[in-house]
Structure 1
Amino acid sequence: MTTRRSAFVPTVAALLAAFIGWFLSDRLIVSAARSELDQSLLLTSRAVRAEIDRFRSLPDVAGEDGRIRAALIDPAYLDDANRYLETIARHAGAAELFLINKWGTTIAASNWNRAGSFIGQDYSFRPYFSRAMIDGHGEFYAIGVTTGVPGYFLSTRILNGDVPGVLVVKVDLKPLQTTWQNAGADIALADADGVVFLSGKPRWIYRPLWPLSTDSILRLEESRAYDGVNLSRAQPLFELSSHSPDIRGSGAIGRLMVMPETNWRIVATRSSSWIAAQSIGWAAFAALATFGMALLWKVVDQRRQILQLKLQQSDKLETMVEERTRDLATEVEARQQAEIELRAAQDNLVHSEKMAALGRMSTAIVHEISQPLAAMEATLTAAQLSLQPADQANVGRIDSAKALVRRMQRTTKHLKSFGRKESGERCHVDLREVLKSAADLVHPRSRLAGVEPQLLLPPEPVLVLAGSVRMEQVAVNLMLNALDATEGKSNSSVVVSLAVVDGNAEIRVRDTGIGIAPDMIHKVTEPFYSSKTQSDGLGLGLSICKAILTEFGGRLSISSVEGSWTEIIVEMPLAHLASGGEN
């Protein structure tokens, strides 16, 4: 009887200890798992937010460009808008950029020249369009009805006068999904209705977290957010409400978090089998320890918990030290780069000030020598009139001297005109006179280079609506660039031609110089880019030319074969077209 009682008590105590051990271990492990899942949710939300925030300002910035606003009211600017959107999307890393008119039809897109282009597509049913037209901004995740490729759409309303439009950027979030899949993470991202659209587990995609209401299904079908997916037949992943943060059941536990900015749901789960295995193990350990080692078990368990806590704190401290070290290294690198850029900018500003001072000095010098030149011409004329019949042999010499003086006077006249600040008003400018004046201005440089620019001008005036001084600046820059390209190369030539083509004035400056590398052509019109490594050029010439021509409604294009030739083409509308029929 005593033996049975002695066995009964330890048995009951062991069973009680086993139950308590299982119960407590289950709660502790679940709590730890939830903490880890919450940390995973926090990191995932930051990653998603960072990916979206990279492009959040892109529609606002791109919408400030004049070509985008002009395209809303003038189809003539659509080609420029297409190319601009294509360039911005490529540099920013966005999936697509497109412009929608007030009726919801796409009129310009970064994929204008590719299959599946958005141009001509009606997106008036998309919430990002209607919200942007009403509130100024919109955002929406959906499967593309044109391409079938899902993405996150950020939209901004833009205005040209009273004409509205919407500029949209499509962000590809698939890299996040690929990262989750490679890491083996059971993470899912769902919309406000609970429909999963990104997940590390492919079988979860386009399935709801909880049963969808009829209103939610109708709203999603109306917006075509998941075009081609039958949501009414999709089985829910879990049996939970939209407000519950905990997920348990179906062999898994998980946590749910709401992103306030988008009202999206992020779900992270872990298998519950390992939790059950650990709980049973702890129950068995508790039962065995109760049979004679309760005290020892308690001490060992306490030491184990303390060691585990220290290890976690140590790992956390090491992680914090590593993160801070990386941050400091990034700050040092950024500061060094900023100092380098600051020094370069200071050098460029000093050089610009030197060039400005040189321009002011040259203007003063021109002013000072103009009167002596006029006096010299008058003196030579007087000397010629006073010649005796016997001195007729000197008439030719005096005529030659007077011709040289007149040439100097023409050059100083061009320099005074070139250095004069223009009022900004436009007038009818004959491009033939502009090219002649530019040729006179670059004559000293062409004489040094041993290449005289050949002018091919039409007999009739070619009038454009512009500023003569700034057009001379464009012509001088283009001719000087052509002369620089031919320097040191034998049998070189520079040909400057003017013609009227398809209602536009067309200037072509062609040289047989060193040419431009194919991968550099798109960079030569960027500010501060220069291929003249041995010169003091700022790399602003072609950038300034492009800006001036754009202001006057013109455009500049470049063709080149490296080592052979380069041709720069300037196109400008004729004056009677640019001024609405004015002659």
Structure 2
Amino acid sequence: MSTIPDFPMVRPSPLLTAIMIVAAIAAAAAAWMVAYRLAAVEIEAGLEQSLIVTRRAVESEIERFRTLPRVVGEDARILALIENPADEASIASANAYLERVANHSGVAEIYVIDASGLTLSASNYREEGSFVGNNYGFRPYFADAIADGEGRYYAIGVTTGRPGYFLSSRLDVPGGRGVVVAKVDLEPLEQAWRDADALTAIADRYGVVFLSGNPDWRYRPLTVLDAATLARLDAERTYDGIGIDEKTPILNAEGLASGEGGEAGLGAGLDERLITRFRSIEPDGWLILSAATAAPARSAAGFWVLVAGVLGLLATGIVRALEQRRNFARLKARQTETLERMVAERTFELARENENRRRAETELRAAQEGLIHSAKMAALGRMSSAIVHEVSQPLAALETTLASAQALAQKEDAPQAGDRMTAARGLVRRMQRTIKHLKSFGRKDGAVLEKVNVDEAIRNALDVTQPRAATAGIAPVFKATGEAPKVLAVAVKFEQVLINLVINALDAVDGRSDGLVKVSRGQADGMVSVRVQDNGGGIAPDHLSRIKEPFFTTKLTGEGLGLGLSISIAIMQEFGGDIVFSAGPGGGTIACITLPVAGDSDTDTGPIA
């Protein structure tokens, strides 16, 4: 036999491979930067829109109440209070008026303080945390109003502890000077941001966040605050009781508060990077922060890195394939010639092997048929005594019947003689039937598939084994349900399998006074099942896996060759079926044959495949 020659391996250039890999990495890096930047620009555009909407919302909320302190200060009751701050009637009238204004306008609180910062009247005069009697001269909104006529400031209330935006307006009367202050609640804006899961915040001029959709950001500085800023916030009591100096800055990148934004890492409390945009709100010097996580941009960039990497590797593979193709082309002629020679040699060898295989299969089939016939002859030999009894008994009866018929004929008793002759004919038919089954069982097997009536085959098998059953004193029971089905099989071989299983069952119950052999037939799901059951000693567990082996037998020497079951299984497998052995529910053995039902489209006859 020729062997495949060793062709030299074609290897690509290492330098070219290295260059292509470096190019793929560079392409992936470029894809990352471009894709990330494009995604970040798109996120920033969304943040810009958010900033515009937020700034307009804040400005609109403040503008609603900007002129309220000045308008309230024009009321005669307020002017009377400034002129006569100790007059109880003026105080009561001003309190009632301010309460109604607060209820109708929607402002959080509105109150009047004198030139020293002492609160004279307030809309919450009825409440426990009333502003009346408190001095707020330290607040910037008071100082700005006294100095410039108007003031505005955001802070946490030192009396109520609730944050608010304070708008103030100065009142000048002949009898004195005062300030009207309206406190605006901006927390509804904050709640709207929280409901929308928006990373939006407003920081004061010092960079301290006082409104935020993220509760963790509230009252935290954007960046680290210097000592002077912290001292001023403490003096003005802007965030009284919060401890701004102990708060961790939100952003760990410096200088963002004064620019338009960008990407920044987060301080303690958050573990991701943000894309941020900033816009200022004048005249307070506030800073609106709108942020979004950079994760989508990184995901998009990662996707395009993957695409670029795959394309780079694909390009590398294509270049290597083209290089190998050129090298392979030089070897193609040599390989083709060598392979053609090898194919011709191998074809000749295969033809010779096929001829030898056909010859071996023919010899094997002949040997198998011989073994099957030998097994049948052995079975006939085992049943010989019972067969002799089955034939000799009718012969003896026939002789007596014929003698009686002769005597009756001599007496000219025709009717009784006729009865004797009829009985003799029955005995002859009985012997003919027995001999017919034995001849059919003993002849060489055919190899033509045909539609076989299962019930008829079972009855023929029981007829052949009847002498053996009579010797054992057993009457096999046959039970079938429904119309008799047909299967594709060789009738003689199918009956041989049934005879072998029935004889084995009879051998198993031989000598038992309560011996029982039952044959049943059923049909389900297109399959026919024939069960041969006995109540004998059963099959030992260690023998159950070996009973299908050729020449394995538990019978005494001379009683069998151990080929019956293995041949029977081989026969059933030829027909597309099988035999399964199992233990009976009350002891003994169950041998179950399964075969597919012959359909209408199956041919009536045909050779075994």
State TM-score, norm by structure 2: 0.47
Higher alpha-carbon Rg: 2
State TM-score, norm by structure 1: 0.49
